[in-house]
Amino acid sequence: MVVARPEIGYLLNPMSWGLGYATEAAAELLRFGFDRLGLHRITAGCWAANIGSARVMEKIGMRREVHLRESAWIQGSWQDVFHYAILDHEGGPVLPPSLAPRRAPSTRSGRGGAALFWRRSEKPFGMTTPKITG
C-alpha cells in the first residue's frame, strides 16, 4: 500500500528573504491544495536551524508535529528536522490582512528567483531533496 503525502516547499534567492514572498507563496499553495485539489492534509518540513522557514509555516497556520533530532546529514553534519502539517478543516492558511496575497507569486521580481514545488513523497523530508540549479 502506497500512501501519498502532499508536501509543499519553497526555495528563494537569499536577496528575497524577509520580504514576505515565501509566506505569500506557501499560503497560495495551501489554498490551491485544499480548494482546487480537495486535499485533506498538507505537510511541509525544514531544517530546525532554518528559523525563517519554520516561521513561514507557523504564520500560514501549519502546526509543528515532529522534531526529528539529528535525522539528516546536511552540509557535513547531522541536523535536526521539523515536520509541519495542516488539515483542511483547520480553516486553511490564516494570514493577517497585511500578508494576504493580492496577486499570484511571480519569479520576475527583479530581486532574485523563486522556486515553488509540490512533492508527492513516500519518504520523510530530507531524504529526497530536489536540486534546483539556476
Spatial distance between the Cα atoms of 98 and 111, rounded to a whole number of angstroms? 20
Are the C-beta atoms of residues 72 and 114 closer than 8 Å to each other?
no
> Residue ranges of the domains in the chain?
5-121
Q: Give the model's pLDDT for residue 2.
A: 52
Say which DSSP state 20 is in.
S
Segment 101-130 mean pLDDT: 45
User: Range with the lowest mean pLDDT among 13-17, 47-51, 58-62, 119-123?
Assistant: 119-123
Q: For residue 113, what is its C-alpha cell? A: 528567483
pTM of the model: 0.68
User: 111 by DSSP, 3-state: which?
Assistant: coil
Question: Which position has the higher pLDDT, 117 or 30?
Answer: 30
Give per-residue pLDDT as tens, 56-113. 999 999 999 999 999 999 889 999 999 999 999 886 565 555 545 444 444 444 444 4
Q: Give the model's pLDDT for residue 58.
A: 95
Are the C-beta atoms of residues 5 and 121 closer than 8 Å to each other?
yes
* Number of neighbouring beta carbons within 10 Å of residue 122: 10
Kindly tell me the number of DSSP H helices and DSSP E strands found in the chain.
2, 5
CATH T-level fold of 5-121: Aminopeptidase (3.40.630)
pLDDT classification of 134: cutoffs 50, 70, 90: very low
Instruction: Provide the residue count of the chain.
Output: 134
Q: Give the model's pLDDT for residue 97.
A: 52
